[in-house]
Structure 1
């Protein structure tokens, strides 16, 4: 016997069987649950298949992604040379590329020279420091065998070597062989050149073959992704440059060896948000400890903390917060996942990829809000420049697209709503 429920659930309803719709309601619920889990399984399967495909095309895809990121830095300079100094398009692009890679090559050459000049001295200082440490342990109340200390030093040295090899392997994880590295670099150079020179022609070409309205959606979405990527790279470069200058000057004032090298490492590590700054700071403090002792290391640590506080509380709120629009937890998770999948290259690309996905989701949210009648199409921001083409203003065409979406507003009155035993 079933006990009566105080809400009346499960009791027999005094209506004819043909009017009892509870079975239909339960069937509909089961159907919707099955549809939800079916879509979820398809989405997961799609992600798995995409990852499987990316595994095999990664060596070819990586130069394309790197070329896009390099182009975000070079495009403003090339535009300045074309528009202000009246350089021909190809010459402006070539000049920008030569200057860009000359700066990077010069910095790397300077690093190699400094490391060659000071590296041996630093190693000798490290050995002397460990020797002094072994002498200090003899005066401690707890006896520490010198053999154990030597074993610990050996283990630490081996760990550092292993990490160095892992870092080197992570840098090259996007490529399989030396030949693929060379081919990838050549492809990246050519793609960077053409994206910088003819990038503005890509979207009109895309609209030509996709038609409207898809072409105009892709135009606005592509413009939003480009703005986000260029904003991320440029602001990250500015923040990393400020960090490198202040930390480099501070370490030079503290007479820490390899101050220039640490400054350069700090700059490049700055392109990996959160984690890069920590790694660069640990490197600076470690070298200061080995070379100049505990007091100097503490001063170096204080310097790194002050610079990082200035970056986190002043520079990032002013420059970076609007560039990506990602929560710090998402940034950290992206860097962790990207680093685990593809080493340093993955950690570097993780945030731009996450920002791109966020842009796509936000744009879908905008179009969904337009179709739902939640926003006025005249109030939606348009990122695509309002240049003229053969059909009029590009921005006006996108605004017209938004107006058409708003006309298709979803009307809930057209839905069938079950109320009690009746359908309206």
Structure 2
């Protein structure tokens, strides 16, 4: 019997094995990063299509319960969806109709008060403690005017860009409404069709993930609506108590702005403070600012993280980072879509973790929902199978 000798590994061999493992991991990371970059490039190129679809999905989570109720009453799907869309458009039109007359009625008075407010600010700058002379004020105004005149080309191009953006927004809204109609009308057929198209073994996993994402999106909309309603009620009550003009209109604007994280609250709050300044003076403007900051602190530190953590199971830091990334990448729309996208990604990651744990023997796999046609096939198999002795 020949004696076998084993050579103990030296440092060079260990370093080489570690280097080879590191190289494999590095190549894998580079491949994943390249795939993510390609995915981001595709999303950017198809954004004009993906945006209406994403908005339509979010709207569908709100409108599906009444559509389902109407369909349960025997109303045809198309008629149920059309009736629900008409009611939704009517509610939005009613909100606009409630806000517009007050704005038009008080716009002249607010313009006069704004002019008076500018004069007050100028007098304050010229008095103690700043004591800015009239010549310095005129010089500052002249510098601003010269800057605006020199930037006229940029301003003009910005106007045309704004017109193009408004046109694109109208097209996006129209497309989103059409997609919403067909998703609500034919949505229940989507999961069975997808299961048939994808096929086993991926079909049950895809269906389960989509159902979880749908439930999560519905929770996001309900949470955001509740948070926005609390903001609108508290801020609106403060404006009414202080006698600020357009208090009810500002409350409605605050509610709508709450659906756009960060930007919406900033714009609505700034508008309320500005109107309070030109109508009621600096003291009440500061009080309005304090009310808005207090409500925003309540929302940002208590309501939104707590409710979103319960409805979407997202940590407050994840919500903040998602909104920051979305706003820096896609602007206001990105800030609005950042949280639901992050929630959908979290659903996918959690489901993947469940499957990994099941394969590793750590936990049993979740039961897959059985589709009607699959249940029928199983029943046929049971009835046609030969009975035992």
- State the TM-score bracket (shorter-chain normalisation): 0.7 to 0.9
Task: Tell me the residue number matched to 1:389.
Answer: 372
1:112 aligned to 2:95? no
Task: Tell me the residue number matched to 2:219.
Answer: 231
Q: Is the 8 A contact 1:274 1:332 kept in 2?
A: no
Measured against aligned partners, the alpha-carbon deviations of 1:18-67 in whole angstroms (never above 9, x if no partner) come to 61433443322111101111111122222222222222211111111111
Question: Aligned residues, how many?
Answer: 364
1:294 aligned to 2:282? yes
Task: Tell me the residue number matched to 2:38.
Answer: 49
Q: How does 1:3-42 map to 2 (within 5 A)?
A: 19-22=7-10, 23-42=12-31
C-alpha distance in structure 2 between counterparts of 1:176 and 1:73, whole Å: 27
Task: Tell me the residue number matched to 2:273.
Answer: 285
C-alpha distance in structure 2 between counterparts of 1:154 and 1:239, whole Å: 43
Task: Tell me the residue number matched to 1:335.
Answer: 323
Q: How far apart are 1:92 and its partner, in Å?
A: 1.6
1:63 aligned to 2:52? yes
Task: Tell me the residue number matched to 1:217.
Answer: 205
Task: Tell me the residue number matched to 1:5.
Answer: none
Q: How does 1:121-200 map to 2 (within 5 A)?
A: 121-149=109-137, 151=140, 178=167, 180-200=168-188
Distance 1:46 1:360, change over 3 A: same
Distance 1:41 1:56, change over 3 A: same
Q: Is the 8 A contact 2:308 2:314 kept in 1?
A: no
C-alpha distance in structure 1 between counterparts of 2:216 and 2:360, whole Å: 26
Q: How far apart are 1:359 and its partner, in Å?
A: 1.4
Distance 1:334 1:88, change over 3 A: same
Q: How far apart are 1:303 and its partner, in Å?
A: 2.9
Q: Is the 8 A contact 2:263 2:332 kept in 1?
A: no
Q: How far apart are 1:375 and its partner, in Å?
A: 1.4
Q: Is the 8 A contact 2:192 2:371 kept in 1?
A: no
Q: Is the 8 A contact 1:387 1:393 kept in 2?
A: no
Q: How does 1:253-264 map to 2 (within 5 A)?
A: 253-264=241-252
SS of residue in 2 equivalent to 1:352: helix
Q: How far apart are 1:194 and its partner, in Å?
A: 1.8
Q: How far apart are 1:314 and its partner, in Å?
A: 6.2
C-alpha distance in structure 1 between counterparts of 2:242 and 2:263, whole Å: 25
C-alpha distance in structure 1 between counterparts of 2:211 and 2:114, whole Å: 52
C-alpha distance in structure 2 between counterparts of 1:182 and 1:303, whole Å: 35
Q: How far apart are 1:74 and its partner, in Å?
A: 0.4
Q: 1:76 aligns with which of 41, 53, 65?
A: 65
C-alpha distance in structure 2 between counterparts of 1:317 and 1:243, whole Å: 15
* TM-score, structure 2 as length reference: 0.82
Q: Which moved more, 1:274-283 or 1:255-264?
A: 274-283
Unaligned runs of 5+ in 2: 379-389
SS of residue in 2 equivalent to 1:390: helix
Q: 1:271 aligns with which of 259, 264, 270?
A: 259
Q: Which moved more, 1:300-309 or 1:286-295?
A: 300-309
Distance 1:272 1:326, change over 3 A: farther
